[in-house]
Amino acid sequence: MKCAVEEAEAGLREGGIPIGSVLVRDGRIIGRGRNRRVQNDDPVLHAEIDCLRNAGRIGSYAECTLYSTLMPCYLCAGAAVQFGIGKVVAGESVNFAGAREFLESHGVEVLDLDLDVCKAMMGTFIEQHPDLWYEDIGEL
């Protein structure tokens, strides 16, 4: 999760939304990403999608764990389900409940770490940039 937090912090420094993600297989990070919607003017470039793109084609994702600083939304949860990712670890779900039930209903193990660093980073961002946040979650 430390590396996902680093990705979120990098996104924030770039003027984007501070959500980071890493994909791990066999104890190794094989993909990293961050929400780049603002930076790339791309409505679907959420952190988990960026992470999967950066991991590239890896065949089976069944033995992978997807880490994200925030509970994945339905878009990103759908990607995890589509590719058969077995486990998702979220940094927090206080600022955004995400699609936990959807993931679990499709057999994905979900762990919410409830980390203060993730809650504080996202909470501060939402407070300072509500327009970007509500656009990101489709509630503008």
pLDDT in tens, 103-132: 999 999 999 999 999 999 999 999 999 999
Provide the pLDDT for residue 10: 98
**72 pLDDT more than 90:** yes
What confidence tier does 16 reach under pLDDT thresholds 50, 70, 90? very high
Catalytic residue among 6, 7, 14, 48: 48
CA distance 34 to 59: 22
Q: Which pLDDT belongs to residue 108?
A: 98
Q: Tens digits of per-residue pLDDT, 77-113?
A: 999 999 999 999 999 999 999 999 999 999 999 999 9
Strands (E), 1-138: 20-25, 28-34, 64-68, 87-90, 109-112
How are beta strands 64-68 and 20-25 bridged, if at all? antiparallel
Give the pLDDT confidence of 17-64 residue by residue, as tens digits: 999 999 999 999 999 999 999 999 999 999 999 999 999 999 999 999
Judging by DSSP bridges, how do beta strands 28-34 and 87-90 pair with one another?
unpaired
Angle of CA points 131, 119, 39, to nearest 5°: 45
Contact in structure between 121 and 18 (CB atoms under 8 Å): yes
Q: Answer yes or no: 104 catalytic.
A: no
Domains in the chain and their CATH numbers? 1-137 (3.40.140.10)
Task: Write down the pLDDT at residue 119.
Answer: 98
pLDDT recorded at residue 140: 79
Cβ atoms 75, 44 nearer than 8 A: yes
